[in-house]
Structure 1
């Protein structure tokens, strides 16, 4: 087993007034050659946007882009004609493929929106752009991991053009759990939304991240009530 630890305070940080963002991996003005990616996991941004503000229309291509709101409502518009709002309990995916333009704004004027923006390198280039969003509230299981993303269109959650599997879980303190990788050659990146836990003996707290490779089963012990995101991804880009 090999691991890499990214403590919350070691992330890149930007404050643009309307946007406060922490970058686990190099992004925009934060460039760190030792923090470029974890396998095909290229971007993990922890964003907060004030009321009524957001990201104006901008382009993407050949990237799988996932948004997971943690608080508030995020309004999305794109060049495919999509116009919708995602909120806490939803997940959104956009396969940029041959190219797409989109914008993201805080739907509300009176409260901030908090969300994770995650980019994965795809395993297919120049696919037809597509958009999907789903509620994942019905998938929640207490003290168990539940899948929210996979490569398979018929699985729970959304799907992507990549051999990646995302799970979330809310656990009570004192609970132990094991995550079994779907593909033994993948790695697992653990991101703590809140709480305290041990992952293979390593203590993590809110917004810490930890990458694990060469381990087919990963053991968790939860110290307090904890909310965690697991991202199982191929390590070869």
Structure 2
């Protein structure tokens, strides 16, 4: 059996009781180093598979094979169903190939953490993730459409690169928008950082942003002539 566990946004105390109990019970645990390191005390004596961009395919295959005759877990930052569609697609396809049953155990998403931190209700928001590999063209078009049609807070996971928030700021400026955006890095970690700045200021920042970053765009009006 393979368990796909949402480990929460950063604070180890935000993993669910069920997720922690399953983590304690399995023989093999895989995940990115930044996630595994938060739960080191529960990993003693277990087989550990550290994932990286370089070894991801091999590591996921090794994990699924280990679940053929035993219990294993994949620890995922936040919630598996919020921003990990590419990774989930890979792991579930492998499970089907090797005949492994799997269960998704939800976690607290960084999106939930940020909504609570800023006092924003999910009902007044729209979420879009650009935290993907490959072309961003389709998702940037979706962001453009959302800005055109809706007047809601837009919760954006920027591309997982140091310049990710600047790309979003540039998109806003290209559409005739220059709102004050909120950038939250490493939400719920001890070194959590919150920045408020106009998009025109963000685009000129020299900061290298963490890949654990969320941007919040307030309801704003864009130049309709920019939508083509």
Per the TM superposition, whether the score is higher than 0.5 is no
Larger Rg: 1 or 2?
Answer: 2
TMscore range, shorter length: 0.3 to 0.5
* TM-score normalised by L of structure 1: 0.34
Structure (1 or 2) with the greater strand fraction: 1
* TM-score normalised by L of structure 2: 0.35
